[in-house]
Amino acid sequence: MVHLTPPCPPDVICLSHLRWNFVFQRPQHLMTRCGRDRRVFFVEEPVFRPGIAPHLHVDASGAVTVVVPHLPEGMASDDCNPALRLLMAELIRSQDISEYVLWYYTPMALGFTDHLSPAAVVYYCMDELSAFKGAPTLLGVREAELMRRAALVLTGGQSLYEAKKHHHPNIHPFPSSVDVAHFAQARQITTDPPDQASIPHPRLGFFGVIDERMDIALVDGVAAARPDWQIVMLGPVVKIDPAALPQRPNIHYLGSKSYNELPHYVAGWDVALLPFARNEATRFISPTKTPEYMAAGKPIVSTSIRDVVRPYGQQGLVRIADEVPEFVRACMAAMAATRLRSMRSSITPK
């Protein structure tokens, strides 16, 4: 009997606008899983340093090889893509990459990869990046070209799919999923991390990136309306001035936490929050936090983000409110429902 060795799956070269060690989210989840049966090279956007020659920093210590291009500070913008093309050629040569898939999270990476010859091109349109603060002016042009090259296009949620579905013949919604076992740990954890332990209850919490998508006026209004409630905010502050964030005794900014730490914080919350603004940057978002909060067993109150309203709000899994009075009432109802369930579960049938 002849035993045939199955062919090795192609490598994946992933081009991302998000850094691997920033916040563990969809790119990290998917690429980690891809890395179980193939080589994955996660190529970040370049970093700029004074007085250096262009080079790559390659970290192969994990299941995914993280590749960070380094360019000299002050390099003219017209020179960046040619330099990055040379670095991509160096990566392919040094890592002996032959058959590979190009997986794009950012169309801007097309500027230094459009000369490559992959087995296939995948575009995961996770967000409407053109609506984000500081988006490059060329992004729309790059995306149109990437749509023409891609064999497969995935969108980060249903509303984004509906906006893009006529732009590609093989496009599919790929909304947020969840590592249930990881966040379900919160249902059993009974001790608080040290920086949260001294914060009284009730606690209303949020984890994620704190940026222009956050409705800071809503957060401030809720904190002002209920000074007896404590609002816990976890995550990095980016693209907005930290001084612009509301400062009250009952708002606690605890900074970035690792993915492994998150269940330990969520376990101590009474309500999980999705206080997103309703603006162009949030028009098509599909927050991964929604199913993560659900897996942790926490009641959720969100603003009317379309991909949260449908299906979670429509199915009664998330309470929806936009203005301060309604948001406060929704949080009160969430906590009351939790107390009622706790009372019922404590009654032992005779």
Place of tokens 């809503």: 218
User: Does 145 share its domain with 202?
Assistant: no
| Total count of domains within the chain | 2
Contact 113, 88 (CB under 8 A): yes
Question: Domain ends where: 133, 153, 173?
Answer: 173
* Per-residue pLDDT reduced to its tens digit, 198-221: 999 999 999 999 999 999 999 999
- For residue 344, the SS3 value is helix
**Residue 340: which residues within 8 A CB-CB, separation 6 or more?**
none
User: Does 237 share its domain with 335?
Assistant: yes
Domain that holds residue 82: 11-173
- When the pLDDT of each residue in the chain is averaged and rounded to a whole number, the result is 94
Does 104 map to a domain?
yes
User: Does 154 share its domain with 21?
Assistant: yes
pLDDT for 343? 78
Q: Give me 279's structure tokens.
A: 């603006």
pLDDT for 348? 55
**Residue 192: which residues within 8 A CB-CB, separation 6 or more?**
264, 265, 267, 268
* Chain CA centroid to CA 343, Å: 36
55-59 and 65-72: which strand pairing? antiparallel
Q: 324-346 and 216-225 are packed helices; what angle lies between their axes, rounded to 10 degrees?
A: 60
User: Does 200 share its domain with 321?
Assistant: yes
Q: Left if phi > 0, otherwise alpha if psi is -120 to 50, otherwise beta: which for 239?
A: left
pLDDT for 192? 97
pLDDT for 4? 54
pLDDT for 134? 79
Q: Left if phi > 0, otherwise alpha if psi is -120 to 50, otherwise beta: which for 25?
A: beta
Does 219 map to a domain?
yes
**Residue 193: which residues within 8 A CB-CB, separation 6 or more?**
261, 264, 265, 268
pLDDT band at 346 (very low <50, low <70, confident <90, very high): low
Question: Mean pLDDT across the stretch 244-263?
Answer: 97
User: Does 223 share its domain with 305?
Assistant: yes
Is pLDDT of 336 > 70?
Answer: yes
Question: Domain ends where: 173, 208, 239?
Answer: 173
Burial of 292 (0-12, 13-18, 19+ CB in 10 A): buried
User: Does 342 share its domain with 234?
Assistant: yes
Does 338 map to a domain?
yes
* Per-residue pLDDT reduced to its tens digit, 129-148: 888 877 888 899 999 999 99
pLDDT for 344? 75
Does 5 map to a domain?
no
CB atoms within 10 A of CB 165: 14
* Per-residue pLDDT reduced to its tens digit, 103-134: 999 999 999 999 999 999 999 999 888 888 77
* Per-residue pLDDT reduced to its tens digit, 141-196: 999 999 999 999 999 999 999 999 999 999 999 988 899 999 999 999 999 999 99
DSSP state of 276: B
User: Does 130 share its domain with 192?
Assistant: no
**Residue 150: which residues within 8 A CB-CB, separation 6 or more?**
104, 121, 122, 123, 168
Query: At 111, which CATH number?
Result: 3.40.50.2000
Question: Domain ends where: 146, 173, 200?
Answer: 173
